[in-house]
């Protein structure tokens, strides 16, 4: 090997040695420099966790609204480096137990009848408005404290076998007028032990508003075929449809309650949430109400809170019925409903027992709640 080759070989060895010494430190420095650069670029004024409690009172036709909220949180976190949205689903009872222990969230996803207005801070201006039917339902005295973001509706489910055996005929659109007669016909005893067969099960307030009087069984009586009909939500219809597809359960008819629903989910910011978190929560709310997010509610069989054109064939079964019938539904004010729900429940029980005066008072009180929802 000549002198020139030895010199070049030595230089090459020195370069390799320098690379091995310098590069590890450089590579280790890169993530730190990148992190600092991202923080500087985004100019985040807050870093940490924002807690969201999703309080479950009704469920969608299929899937999980809590998972849907978590997916929106993932989109939010991509926008805000170092800011995390922690979504936890729980029942009303589980939420109450946590609050008794002094626990609180920054944001609440809550059903109608859960939230006191005083629990929430006034909402900031959002990018997208909600449907006319929902406008004002999360407001008091012109100030919004909760924004509706998803809605569902009620169905009358009828056991087809019992319907045919007793010659009962109820049809879409006018079944409310024949509900009492059908329930009476489907209430009977059978067998040597005179087993009770109930005509109707489900929601007491709803049954009383529809003019029903008599004993009202729990929904579980319908699912076990001990009750012939049930006033219930879309999830019950979805569960029964899925059982049928697996060759289980029983055949049934689902008739939609048109023109009214209180199955609405809201988002609100807690009164004591730190100010530095609120701009980020505002952005999360805008993500939830975006067309892209709202369109994905249809996959759960829920209806969007914003005006959204649904493509033909996008929905089928119970969700399709909901979309067609609840465009102009009457919806109570969420906070007035919470304030008066104990009185409503009491009036409903009296009305079911045959108290005509209680039924009239129930109607008047509900009218106040619906009219109150329209006050901006």
111 domain-assigned: yes
* Amino acid 25: pLDDT: 52
Q: What gap in Å lies between CA 319 and CA 303, rounded to an integer?
A: 8
- Return the percentage of the chain with pLDDT > 70, whole number: 86
What average pLDDT does range 324-350 have in this prediction? 91
9 — pLDDT class (breaks 50, 70, 90)? low
Residues 196 and 215 in one domain: yes
What average pLDDT does range 82-87 have in this prediction? 98
Residues 94 and 166 in one domain: no
Half-sphere exposure of 286 (CA within 13 A, CB side): 12
Pick the last residue of a domain from 230, 256, 282: 256
Answer yes or no: is pLDDT of 141 > 60.
yes
* Amino acid 112: pLDDT: 93
1 — pLDDT class (breaks 50, 70, 90)? low
* Amino acid 149: pLDDT: 98
1 domain-assigned: no
174 domain-assigned: yes
- 101 compared with 39, residue with greater pLDDT: 101
Q: What gap in Å lies between CA 267 and CA 65, rounded to an integer?
A: 13
* Amino acid 115: pLDDT: 81
Residues 199 and 250 in one domain: yes
Residues 130 and 74 in one domain: yes
59 domain-assigned: yes
Residues 144 and 169 in one domain: no
Pick the last residue of a domain from 302, 325, 348: 325
111 — pLDDT class (breaks 50, 70, 90)? very high
Answer yes or no: is pLDDT of 6 > 90.
no
Task: Specify whether the CB–CB gap between 246 and 84 falls below 8 A.
Answer: no
308 — pLDDT class (breaks 50, 70, 90)? confident
Residues 161 and 76 in one domain: no
Q: What gap in Å lies between CA 262 and CA 370, rounded to an integer?
A: 10
Residues 199 and 218 in one domain: yes
pLDDT in tens, 166-217: 999 998 878 999 999 999 999 999 998 889 999 999 999 999 999 999 999 9
208 domain-assigned: yes
355 domain-assigned: no
275 domain-assigned: yes
* Amino acid 373: pLDDT: 74
Q: Which of 66, 99, 72 is nearest to 85 (CA)?
A: 72
353 — pLDDT class (breaks 50, 70, 90)? very high
Count of the separate structural domains present in the chain: 2
Residues 158 and 129 in one domain: no
| Residue range of the domain that includes 177 | 154-256
Provide the CATH number for the domain around residue 130.
Answer: 3.40.190.10
12 domain-assigned: no
Q: What is the pTM (predicted TM-score) of this model?
A: 0.86
Residues 184 and 164 in one domain: yes
Q: Which of 226, 183, 224 is nearest to 207 (CA)?
A: 183
Residues 69 and 188 in one domain: no
274 phi and psi angles, rounded to 5 deg: -60, 140
19 — pLDDT class (breaks 50, 70, 90)? low
Residues 124 and 267 in one domain: yes
Q: What gap in Å lies between CA 324 and CA 258, rounded to an integer?
A: 9
Pick the last residue of a domain from 256, 272, 304: 256
Question: Which residues, including other chains, have CB under 8 Å from residue 332's CB and lie 6 or more apart?
Answer: 112, 137, 262, 366, 369, 370, 372, 373
pLDDT in tens, 226-255: 999 999 999 999 999 999 999 999 999 999
Mean pLDDT for the chain overall? 88
Task: State the burial class of residue 43 (Cβ atoms within 10 Å of its Cβ: 0-12, 13-18, 19+).
Answer: exposed
Range with the poorest average pLDDT among 77-81, 189-193, 231-235, 316-320: 316-320
* Amino acid 328: pLDDT: 78
Answer yes or no: is pLDDT of 30 > 60.
no
* Amino acid 323: pLDDT: 76
Residues 245 and 293 in one domain: no
Structure tokens at 105: 């969230």
């Amino acid at each position: 090997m000549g002198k020139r080759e030895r010199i070049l070989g030595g230089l090459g060895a020195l370069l390799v040695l320098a690379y091995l010494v310098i590069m590890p430190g450089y590579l280790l420095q890169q993530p730190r420099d990148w992190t600092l650069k991202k923080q500087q670029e985004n100019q985040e004024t807050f870093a940490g966790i924002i807690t969201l409690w999703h309080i479950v009172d009704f469920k969608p036709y299929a899937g999980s609204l809590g998972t849907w909220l978590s997916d929106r949180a993932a989109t939010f976190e991509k926008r805000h480096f170092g800011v995390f949205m922690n979504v936890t689903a729980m029942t009303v009872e589980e939420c109450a137990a946590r609050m008794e222990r002094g626990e609180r969230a920054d944001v609440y996803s809550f059903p109608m009848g859960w939230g006191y207005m005083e629990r929430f801070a006034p909402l900031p201006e959002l990018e997208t408005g909600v449907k006319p039917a929902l406008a004002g339902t999360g407001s008091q005295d012109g100030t919004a404290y909760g924004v509706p973001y998803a809605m569902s509706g009620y169905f009358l489910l009828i056991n087809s076998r019992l319907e045919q055996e007793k010659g009962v005929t109820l049809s879409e659109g006018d079944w409310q007028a024949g509900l009492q007669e059908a329930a009476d016909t489907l209430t009977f005893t059978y067998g040597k032990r005179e087993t009770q067969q109930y005509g109707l099960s489900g929601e007491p307030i709803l049954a009383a508003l529809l003019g029903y009087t008599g004993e009202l069984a729990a929904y579980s009586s319908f699912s076990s075929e001990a009750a012939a009909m049930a006033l219930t939500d879309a999830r019950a219809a979805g569960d029964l449809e899925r059982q049928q597809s697996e060759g289980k359960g029983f055949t049934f008819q689902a008739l939609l309650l048109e023109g009214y629903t209180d199955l609405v989910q809201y988002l609100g910011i807690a009164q004591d949430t730190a100010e530095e978190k609120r701009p980020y929560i505002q952005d999360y709310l805008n993500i939830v109400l975006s067309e892209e997010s709202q369109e994905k509610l249809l996959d759960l069989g829920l209806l969007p809170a914003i005006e959204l054109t649904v493509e033909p064939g996008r929905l089928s079964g119970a969700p399709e019925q909901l979309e067609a019938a609840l465009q102009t539904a009457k919806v109570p004010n969420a906070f007035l409903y919470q304030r008066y729900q104990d009185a409503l429940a009491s009036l409903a029980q009296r009305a079911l027992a045959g108290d005509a005066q209680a039924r009239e008072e129930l109607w008047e009180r509900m009218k106040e709640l619906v009219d109150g929802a329209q006050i901006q």
